Amino acid sequence: MSDNTAHEEPELVQLLTPEGELRHHPDYPLDLGADEVRGLYRDLVLVRRVDTEAVALQRQGELGLWASLLGQEAAQIGSARALRPQDMAFPSYREHGVAWVRGVEPRNLLAMFRGVTNGGWDPAEHNLHLYTIVIGSQTLHATGYAMGVQRDGATGGDDGTAVIVYFGDGATSQGDTNEAFNFAAVNNAPVVFFCQNNQWAISEPLERQSRVPLYRRAAGFGFPGVRIDGNDVFASLAVTRRALQHAREGQGPMLIEAFTYRMGAHTTNDDPTRYRVAAELEEWKRKDPILRLRAYMAANGVADDDFFAAVDAEADKLGERVRVDCRALPDPDPLDIFHEVYAEPHAQLDLQRAEFADYLASFEDAGAEGGR
Amino acid sequence: MSVNLTIGKAINAGLRRAMEADPKVLVMGEDVGKLGGVFRVTDQLYKDFGADRVIDTPLAESGIVGTAIGLALRGYRPVCEIQFDGFFFPATNQTFTQLAKMRRRSAGALNLPVVLRIPYGGGIGAVEHHSESPEAYFAHTAGLRVVTVANAVDAYWMIQQAIASPDPVVFFEPKRRYYDKADVDTEAALDSAHPMGAARVARPGTDVTLLAYGPMVKTALQAAEADSDHSIEVIDLRSISPVDYDTVTESVRRTGRLVITHEAPVSGGVGAEIAARVTESCFYHLEAPVIRVGAFDTPYPQSRLEEHYLPDLDRVLDGVDRAFAY
In whole angstroms, what separates CA B171 from the centre of its chain? 5
Interface ipTM > 0.85: yes
Of B67, B72, B107, the CB nearest to A117: B107
Please report the number of interchain residue pairs, chain A to chain B, with beta-carbon separation below 8 angstroms: 144
Per-residue pLDDT of chain A in tens (372 residues, 90 and over written 9): 344 444 556 789 999 999 999 999 999 999 999 999 999 999 999 999 999 999 999 999 999 999 999 999 999 999 999 999 999 999 999 999 999 999 999 999 999 999 999 999 999 999 999 999 999 999 999 999 999 999 999 998 778 999 999 999 999 999 999 999 999 999 999 999 999 999 999 999 999 999 999 999 999 999 999 999 999 999 999 999 999 999 999 999 999 999 999 999 999 999 999 999 999 999 999 999 999 999 999 999 999 999 999 999 999 999 999 999 999 999 999 999 999 999 999 999 999 999 999 999 999 877 666 554
Confidence of residue B227 (pLDDT cuts 50, 70, 90): very high
Q: Output Rg (C-alpha) for chain B, integer angstroms.
A: 19
Q: Which residues of A touch B58 (CB under 8 A)?
A: 179, 182-183, 186
Q: Which residues of A touch B55 (CB under 8 A)?
A: 147
Q: Please tell me the distance from the alpha carbon of residue A215 to that of residue A207, in angstroms, as a whole number.
A: 14
B59-73 in b/e form (b: 16+ CB < 10 A) is ebbbbbbbbbbbbbb
| Confidence at residue A8, expressed as pLDDT on a 0 to 100 scale | 56
A207 Cβ contact partners less than 8 Å away, ≥ 6 residues apart? A6, A7
CA atoms within 13 A on the CB side of B134: 22
Q: Which residues of A touch B60 (CB under 8 A)?
A: 175, 179, 182-183
| Confidence at residue A157, expressed as pLDDT on a 0 to 100 scale | 78
> For B2-192, which CATH superfamily applies?
Thiamin diphosphate (ThDP)-binding fold, Pyr/PP domains (3.40.50.970)
The 10s digit of each residue's pLDDT in B203-212 is 999 999 999 9
Q: Could you tell me which residues are beta bridge partners of residue B29?
A: B56, B81
B230 included as an active-site residue: no
Which of A94, A262, A292, A294 does the annotation list as catalytic? A262
Q: Please tell me the distance from the alpha carbon of residue A40 to that of residue B266, in angstroms, as a whole number.
A: 61
**Torsion of the alpha carbons at B198, B199, B205 and B206, rounded to the nearest 10:** -70
Question: What average pLDDT does this structure show over B207-231?
Answer: 98
DSSP secondary structure, B5-74, as one string: EEHHHHHHHHHHHHHHH-TTEEEEETT-STT--TT-TTTTHHHHH-TTTEEEPPS-HHHHHHHHHHHHHT
Backbone angles phi, psi at B46, to 5 degrees: -60, -45
Q: Could you tell me which residues are beta bridge partners of residue B241?
A: B146
Residues of chain B with CATH 3.40.50.970: 2-192
Q: What is the SS3 assignment for B313?
A: helix
Amino acid (1-letter code) at residue A335: L
Minimum Cα–Cα distance from B61: chain A residue = A179
| Confidence at residue A30, expressed as pLDDT on a 0 to 100 scale | 94
Evaluated on CA atoms B238, B241, B247, B249, the torsion sign reads positive
Instruction: Please tell me the distance in Å from B135's CA to the nearest CA on chain A.
Output: 17
Residue B299 DSSP one-character state: P
Across chain B, what does the average pLDDT equal?
98
Residue A137 DSSP one-character state: H
Residues of chain B with CATH 3.40.50.920: 200-325
Amino acid (1-letter code) at residue A148: G
**Cβ separation A343–B167 shorter than 8 A:** yes
Burial class from Cβ neighbours inside 10 Å (0-12, 13-18, 19+) for residue A11 reads: exposed
Q: Please tell me the distance from the alpha carbon of residue B54 to that of residue B43, in angstroms, as a whole number.
A: 10
Of B68, B98, B142, the CB nearest to A137: B98
Whether B148 shows a pLDDT value over 60: the answer reads: yes
Question: What average pLDDT does this structure show over B173-183?
Answer: 98
Is B166 an interface residue toward A (CB < 8 Å)? yes
Q: Does domain B200-325 have CATH number 3.40.50.2300?
A: no
| Confidence at residue A3, expressed as pLDDT on a 0 to 100 scale | 44
Evaluated on CA atoms A68, A73, A77, A78, the torsion sign reads negative
Q: Which residues of B touch A142 (CB under 8 A)?
A: 70
Instruction: Please tell me the distance in Å from B283's CA to the nearest CA on chain A.
Output: 18
**What percentage of residues in chain B have a pLDDT greater than 70?**
100
Q: Please tell me the distance from the alpha carbon of residue A88 to that of residue A128, in angstroms, as a whole number.
A: 6
**Single pTM value for the model:** 0.96
In this structure, the strands spanning B258-265 and B291-295 are parallel
Q: What is the SS3 assignment for A62?
A: coil
Q: Could you tell me which residues are beta bridge partners of residue B162?
A: none
